[in-house]
Each structure stands twice: as C-alpha cells, then as structure tokens.
Structure 1
Amino acid sequence: MNCKNTLKKSPKLVVIGAGIAGVGAAGKLLTHGFTDIQIVEASSQPGGRIRSSLFGKSTVDEGAQYIHGASGKNPIFQLAKEHGLLQDTHDRVDPELSVLTNMQKQMDPDVTKEVKNLASSILKHAHLIAQQKQYTQANSLADVYLEEVKTLIAQWDGDHTDLRRQKLGLLSMLMKWQCDHLAAGSLSEVSVHVYEEYKHIEGHDRNSQGLFPNLLQKLLEIIPREKLLLNKPVQQILWNGSFESEDNSLYPIKVLCEDGGHILADHVILSISLGCLKANGQSLFQPRLPEQKLNAIQSMGFGTMNKIYLEFEAPFWDENTEVIGLVWEEETPLSCQEPNLTEWWKRVPVFYVVGPTGRYGHLLVGTISGKEAEFIESLSLQEVASSLTCLFRQFTGRSSLPELKNVFVTKWFSNPYTRGSYSHISINSTGDMIDLLTEPLPQATEGNGSPMLQLLFAGEATHRSHHSTTHGALLSGWREAERLIDLYSTK
C-alpha cells in the first residue's frame, strides 16, 4: 500500500511544548504550507527552558545563555546573526579565572591554568584514556578521572604540602564545575563515552545574556497568535485509535488536556523535556509506549543545574576578573563524592561576573548541580543570601564584607514542566538509546496499516550529537518537521 496516497491533503498537527524545538518545528511546517497547526504549552509563556527574569538593573537568563560553537555551522548563531542579535555577545575564550581558597589564599594563575588544562584533557579524552590504559571496568567519567588523579597525586609528592593541597582542591572544584556543565549529580553518573558521542561545532562558546528570549520572539513572529495556546497542560495522549470529529472526520490521535478539553490530530510532535517524560511517560500515553522506548527514557541521564544570581552594592573582585573559583583546601576528588545538603554551598564551584556593569550593576552568577541544586530550591532567599555572604567573607578574609543586596535562584527541578535542566548520556544509556527515543510511532513494520508518524519526538535529549544544547533542540524540531514535509511531499 502506498501510504502517501491515503494521506489527508491538509493534516491536522499538534505540537506539544513551545520551547525552541516546538516553535522551530511549527515554524518550518508553516513555511512549507501546513496550515492546521496548534501549539499547546503548559506554562504561561513560551520558551520552555529559555526564560529570563528581572533582576538588578536588567533581565537575566534563567536557562540557556551560551551559543556552543559560535560559527556559521551553528543554526542558533546563524539565526541570531540574521536577526541582528549578536551585538551584546562575546566569545568565552579561556576566561580570566581567579581562584580563591577557604584559607584566604589566591592560587597562582599559572598553577591554576596547568591543573585546569590537565583536568579538561582527562575529561574530554576519557574514553580514549580508558582504552589506552586498559581501564576495563571504566564505565563513568569518574572511573577515569579518579584513576588519573591518583597518578597526579604521586607526581605531586615533591610539591610543598600547601601547594599539593591546593592542586587537589582545585581538581575537586573542576570536577564539580564539570558536573554543572553536564547537569549531573556526580561524574560517576555520566558515561565515559559522553564526549565521544557529543560533537562540537567549530567556534568558541559565546556568552549571550538575553539573546535566547529575543531569538525565540523572532521565531514566534511567523506563528499566528491563535495557533499558540498557553496555560494548556496535556493530561494524556490517546494514539493509534480512531476518533471522530464534529464533521465526522476520523483522526488517530486525541490529546486530552487538564482543563477538560481535547484536540484531535493526525500527528503530534512532542517537544517536552526528558524530565517530564521520565516522570509521566508511563501514564501520558494510551496505549503505553513500547517497553524499549520507555526503558530508553528512564535510562538516559537528565539532571538539574541551577543558577544563583547575586547583586552587590559594590564589587569585591578585580575589574579584570571574569570567573571566581572557590577551592576548599581540605577536599580532594576522592573525598567529595557524596551529596552534602547541610553545606550545600560547597557544591558551588565558580561564580561568573555578569557584565557589562553599566547594564547589569554588580552581579555574580554561580552554578550548582546535583542534589544540592535540588535542595536550594526549598530554601528562602534570605537563607541563601546569609550562607553565601558567610562564604565570601570566609574566602576573602573580609569579615566586614557587606550583606548581599539581592538574590535570585532558578528552580528547574521543582518546575513541573521541566523536572530538571538538560540531558546527558548516563552510565545506563548509550547514544543508540537517543536514536531509539527519537524513532516516531507507530513503527513502520510490514503489514502495519496504522497511519504513519502519529507520535514524533523532539527536544534536546533526542539529538544524539548535540544533546543538552539549544542548537540540538532546534535541529531536533526541524528534523521532525522535515519528516512530515517528506511524508506529504508530492515528489
């Protein structure tokens, strides 16, 4: 049977989730002549994990902030360039890192750079190191990182005790920083093959505070307002059925919404977060998703990385400082593996200086991941401010350092429509599982008379080589749109 001969001329499409993947998919479909499209978004504004809030003198990004690979090969960079949004951005090229220790010392920049380069090389090449050194039991990044640290400890035996302590503390700090990049609670949760799967795009990471909300608005301009429904959480998706509309047309999908309404569709593009799929995947679909797909959803890594914005009356850092690192001299990578909620601030490895000062005032933003990132969402802003004021007084040795003027903490874990920040390849998953999650349903098996491509899956977690990124999310939305464009092509 030729499926294309049985297709409707004007299919009814529903996109669930108005993040950049869903908006990108809908925009591409509209430009290719599809007209019956409805985007349903659970929250009160589009954007998903692209969101900004007023803080200090301006707005700050709660989620996406960096263009990873600022070059013409990155669709985010290319779109930002076309829309004239790159004026206030700058490349993050080996930022000036000023490292303080809890013993009120400032680490030698040359030592900092040397250890940072060592740690970066170990992590980026962990899969190769495991092969070369025959670490046959190495499943996680931590397995390789900690073995290499043991080697470094032996090499540093000749160092002065204080220097050796600082180097080990710095390796611990860098390990936490890497967890922030991966939205992971521990490197022991992350597959040793994570950087083998992830493909870097040429170009530096570009700091683009405020760019992503503006870019999202540009992408929304081609979508008629009536095609975007906000505050419309989905309760369940009934698929592979036969549902009759008021005009007696039949549709294979019925999307049930929490407000009691429903939408019939020929195709649904799901661009919700992997965190939501993990939490609701068993009950969201009727019939249930195939066990292999459910297993992929549960096995893949998805964690929380929160930002902590701090406003000061006056800076305590030098004007050339871009990143402030915090090293606990008593820590080593071997000693700080377990979550520590009572001293959650020890999990914040760095604070970035938010600039320019004229636009933002005197702001720092810290990053935190793991159980501690989840825990701080339950604290009051006063508790966070008090703890971090004490932290900075300890590291600077300035007991008179003023109280913070203002604090803002993102809450991606407790947000019911994200349940975390972004994905990584866990020790229980593989790149093949990302491909499995991406496969549309129902499967195109021989003799299967079901309508094609009923459920299509998008979002950053579905892009094998660019997971965890906004460009991966956008590309995934375009990918699913192109499946439908190809399906309805007259060629």
Structure 2
Amino acid sequence: MNSKNAMKKSPKVVIIGAGIAGVGAAGKLVKQGFTDIQIIEASSQPGGRIRGSPFGKSVVDEGAQYIHGASMKNPIFQLAKEHGLLQQEHNSSDPEWSVFTNTQKQLDPDFTEQMKNLASSILRRAHLLAQEKGYTQAKSLADVYLEEVKKLLLQWSGENVDLRRQKLGVLSMSMKWQCIHLATNGLGEVSVHEYEEYKSIEGDDRNFQGLFPSLLQKLLEIIPREKLLLEKPVKQILWNGSFESEDGSLYPVRVVCEDGDHILADHVIVTVSLGCLKANCQSLFRPSLPEQKLHAIQNMGFGTMNKIYLEYEDPFWDENVDIIGLVWEDETPLSGQKPNLIEWWRRVPVIYVFRPTERYGHVLVGTISGKEAEFIESLSPEEVASNFTKLLRQFTGRPSLPAPKNVFVTKWFSNSYTRGSYSHISINSTGDMIDTLAEPLPQTAEGTSSPMLQVLFAGEATHRSYHSTTHGALLSGQREADRLIDHYSTK
C-alpha cells in the first residue's frame, strides 16, 4: 500500500488466531502500511500450535519443533537465519538409531535402515505404484502398502521365520511412524495421492528444539502490542452484511466474541485449525459457508499426534543413541492399524533422546497418533509412567530399569482451540479441496459487483503443497496478506 495508492481510510482487518499464519499475515500487512489491524486470539498466549512448556531443566516444544527442508528455500529457515536462531539446532540430520524387539533383541542397524527405507519408498511412491501395478481400486496409502507387503512375503517365504518376523515388525513400526507424520489413525484413512500433493523442500528435516516460540516472538516484535488481544474466543462471524459503527461507517463483517464484544471489519482472515472448523463451522459463520467449502472442511483429513515427555534421574540409554525404535515381532502391517486403547503403548514406534543433556537434563520423548493419542490425554502422569516403564523394561530386558521422575503429555485433541494437530489428504478428499478451503468469501458471481475479500482463510490446512507444516502455515498467512495488498494496490 504505497503513497500513490493511499486510501482515505485504512481498511480494517481482523485476524482470528495468533498462530504463525495469523502473525505472518499481520506482519506483512503492517510492513505494507496497513494500520487498522487487530489480531484476536482465543487462548492466553500467542502461537497456536507453536507452544513451549517447562519440563526438566528447560522448556520443551509441545507442537512444532522441526524445520522440514532446512535450506534457504524454506521461509522458516530463512527467518530463523535472519534472526540468528539457527545455533539452537540439535540432533544431526543422520541420527543414530538403536532398535529393540519385544523379545529383547537389538536389531542390526544396517538391517533396520534397509527396511525403513523400503517402507518409506513404498509410501512416497504410492501414487506411482498404484498406476504402474494397476491397483485400480487403490484409494488409500494402506491399499498400496499392503499389496507391496504381500509381494514381499512371497519373496521372503523361504527365509528364516525369525528374520521374516523382524522384517514385518520393522515394516509395522515404519507404518506407525508414518501415521505419526500424518497425524492419522491408520494409513487406510490417507489418500494414495498424499505424497503426490505434498511437496518436499530441498534440505533435511532438522530438529530445532525451542526455535519456533523464539521465532514467533521475533515476528511479533513489529506488531504493536495493542493490536493483539488474548483470551478472546470468537463465537460467530457475520459476513456479507452492512454493519454500522459508532461513527456511522459501514462494514461488511462483524465478529462476535464469546465475551459479548463485537468487532467490525472490512476483512477477516480466519486462521483457526481445521479441527476447529470441523467442530464449529456450522455455527461459526452467518450466513453459512457455501456447500462446496463445507464439504471440503468435513472431508479433509485432520488428526492428532501427541508427545510423551519422560525425565529421568540418570540415563539408561547409550549416550550416542538419538532414536530408540520399538519393534513388535508379533505384529505385521497386514494385521491392520485398528485402535488398541487397552495397549495404547504399542502405538509408540520410536522414542527420541533430547540433546544436549546440559540444557534439558535426561529426557526422552515418545510420539503417538490416532485414537491412542486421544486416549492418553485422559490418563494420569502416573499411569503413563507406569506403562512406559513396563514397555521399556520388556524391550531392553532390564527389569530394574528406572521409572521416570517426571512425565508430561501434550493434549492437542482435548484443546478446544485446536481439536487435533495437523492435516492430511484423506481418502475422502483431494488437493482441490485444500484450494477450495483457501478461497475467500463471498464468491463473486460473474457480471456482479459483489464486495470481495470479506472472509479470507489461512492456516496449514489451506496450503496445498505444504499442508501440515509451519512453513505452509506461514506462507498461507502471507498469501492472504498479499491478496489484500493486491486488492488495494489495484483499486
């Protein structure tokens, strides 16, 4: 918004949600000279799914902690480098694994690496395999994965029974690991086109514990403090109206907050999670959202991934190990991914060692997805600690292995302002639905002069190529800011 396009009145923009999408949108608008901006956040702190909590000797990440594609092609990496935050990197991009079975065997590292790579290649090539092999009925990643496993079983038919069990166990572990990356109950819920739509950025996946809350604070620095209202849940968004302010100005949108406040706006950027939209979209918007957008919200995939932090007085693991893998020799990918809440710990495929010890203490973190991830939110720390101790004693064969002195479980599913973790393309959705969700309202009919850009949508679930990531969320917020900037620069 430069001087030659200066407006009589700065448009009033309300941004719902102070996650990285909302903060990214606000920052770009502020830099372009928009002065009448208000971010309203339901919780008591900004960040959305970026959040740190005290644990052990430091603060751990409840949500985002990885940069997916650590290179200058990633806007998160760029910003982190610009703000001098990259020195916080820990864990190499080529971590050291130690994989145990439930029969107390420690598997050969080369063997497990080979099997993990096999599982990953099948899934990442799923859409191509479905075409090449003529899997005409394939809808899900599981359809393709299990077809390939059946073929592998025939190839392995003459091998030692124990070796075959270990191979299938590692494939099952990898399957659960992929479910965590996709925040899903099982690969049967994920479209065969997920990895076709999702675009990887050049560079490794890097573990930057503690980086994202720091980066968010840096992004908030250019936004005036009074422009961010916390503990301000939204009850309803009234759009396509004509609402009069105290000075007689008319606005097309009114945001009604739970505390009774009404905020008028020319434009609203909605950055709430897809989980919240699924739960509240029928009551949140008046008039109702167009049928096509409602259909996209209802059918797109969104699930839960939780972290289980365990602090120990002393480490029982090898100091060189970064990741502990857990392989059940009585499991195969063919046995399915049905929820097993009674033995929820079976859904934890890997446990990460936190580095450096000087900063965090002796801390492990397990990850879990699906119904089991939702279920553990209802358990006490003592129950989680007891079950994890039994699990680790079973796999290591060490009955005297110590219990953790402290446990912390994230609770993204029961958080009413997230209702889960992140999105994926489900078997009932397509990449086109992500684009549909991102389309602003109202939809302008051909030949009409309907006011445009009243309600805009951002957040990781609105970015077709980078859904489920922080860089996707950031870019989506900047995309909607650009939409408004372009709208006024061409007037």
Report if TM-score (shorter chain) is over 0.5.
yes
How many residue pairs are counted as aligned between the two chains?
A: 488
Q: Deviations over 1:263-295 (max 9, x none)?
A: 000000000000000000111000000000000
Distance, in Å, in 2 between the alignment partners of 1:256 and 1:31 is 28
Q: Deviations over 1:251-270 (max 9, x none)?
A: 00000000011100000000
User: Superposition pairs for residues 125-144 of structure 1, below 5 Å?
Assistant: 125-144=125-144
Q: CA deviation at 1:490?
A: 4.9
8 A Cα contact 2:437 2:457, kept in partner: yes
Q: Deviations over 1:190-213 (max 9, x none)?
A: 000000001111011111000000
Q: Which residue of 1 aligns with 2:378?
A: 378
Distance, in Å, in 1 between the alignment partners of 2:485 and 2:179 is 39
User: One-letter code of the match for 1:30?
Assistant: V
Q: Which residue of 2 aligns with 1:220?
A: 220
Q: Which residue of 1 aligns with 2:45?
A: 45
Q: Deviations over 1:323-364 (max 9, x none)?
A: 101011100011142100000000000001110111111111
SS in 2 for 1:412: coil
Distance, in Å, in 2 between the alignment partners of 1:107 and 1:163 is 10
Distance, in Å, in 1 between the alignment partners of 2:343 and 2:8 is 59
Cα 1:490–1:127, aligned 2, differ >3 Å: closer, same or farther? closer
Q: Deviations over 1:215-254 (max 9, x none)?
A: 0000000011100000000000000000000001100000
SS in 2 for 1:368: strand
8 A Cα contact 2:179 2:186, kept in partner: yes
Q: CA deviation at 1:90?
A: 4.3
SS in 2 for 1:411: coil
User: Superposition pairs for residues 58-77 of structure 1, below 5 Å?
Assistant: 58-77=58-77
Distance, in Å, in 2 between the alignment partners of 1:245 and 1:115 is 64
8 A Cα contact 1:233 1:258, kept in partner: yes
Distance, in Å, in 2 between the alignment partners of 1:336 and 1:312 is 34
Q: Which residue of 2 aligns with 1:295?
A: 295
Q: Which residue of 2 aligns with 1:422?
A: 422
* Structure 1 unmatched ranges of 5 or more: none
Q: CA deviation at 1:166?
A: 1.0
Q: CA deviation at 1:451?
A: 1.8
Q: Which residue of 2 aligns with 1:164?
A: 164
SS in 1 for 2:367: strand
Query: After the TM superposition, which of the residue ranges 16-25 and 336-345 deviates more from structure 2?
Result: 336-345
RMSD: 1.4
Query: After the TM superposition, which of the residue ranges 288-297 and 106-115 deviates more from structure 2?
Result: 106-115
Distance, in Å, in 2 between the alignment partners of 1:451 and 1:8 is 18
Q: Which residue of 2 aligns with 1:465?
A: 465
Q: CA deviation at 1:448?
A: 3.2
8 A Cα contact 2:185 2:337, kept in partner: no
Q: Which residue of 2 aligns with 1:210?
A: 210
Distance, in Å, in 2 between the alignment partners of 1:336 and 1:169 is 12
User: Superposition pairs for residues 152-301 of structure 1, below 5 Å?
Assistant: 152-301=152-301
Q: Which residue of 2 aligns with 1:356?
A: 356
Query: After the TM superposition, which of the residue ranges 87-96 and 234-243 deviates more from structure 2?
Result: 87-96
Q: CA deviation at 1:88?
A: 1.7
8 A Cα contact 2:276 2:416, kept in partner: yes
Distance, in Å, in 2 between the alignment partners of 1:133 and 1:291 is 36
Q: CA deviation at 1:87?
A: 0.3
Q: Which residue of 2 aligns with 1:99?
A: 99
Q: CA deviation at 1:154?
A: 1.3
Q: CA deviation at 1:444?
A: 2.2
Distance, in Å, in 1 between the alignment partners of 2:43 and 2:307 is 20
Distance, in Å, in 2 between the alignment partners of 1:325 and 1:91 is 16
User: One-letter code of the match for 2:371?
Assistant: K
Q: CA deviation at 1:8?
A: 6.2
Q: Deviations over 1:19-70 (max 9, x none)?
A: 0000000010011010000000000000000000000000000000000001
User: One-letter code of the match for 2:110?
Assistant: D
Cα 1:92–1:182, aligned 2, differ >3 Å: closer, same or farther? farther
User: One-letter code of the match for 2:96?
Assistant: E
8 A Cα contact 1:412 1:421, kept in partner: yes
SS in 1 for 2:353: strand
8 A Cα contact 2:91 2:322, kept in partner: no
Q: Which residue of 2 aligns with 1:21?
A: 21
Structure 1 residue 478 corresponds to structure 2 residue 475: no
Q: Which residue of 2 aligns with 1:309?
A: 309
8 A Cα contact 2:90 2:355, kept in partner: no
Distance, in Å, in 1 between the alignment partners of 2:147 and 2:336 is 15
Q: CA deviation at 1:450?
A: 2.9
Q: CA deviation at 1:486?
A: 0.4
Structure 1 residue 319 corresponds to structure 2 residue 319: yes
Q: CA deviation at 1:151?
A: 1.0
Q: Deviations over 1:455-491 (max 9, x none)?
A: 0000000000000000000000000000000011057
SS in 2 for 1:98: strand
Distance, in Å, in 2 between the alignment partners of 1:91 and 1:343 is 30
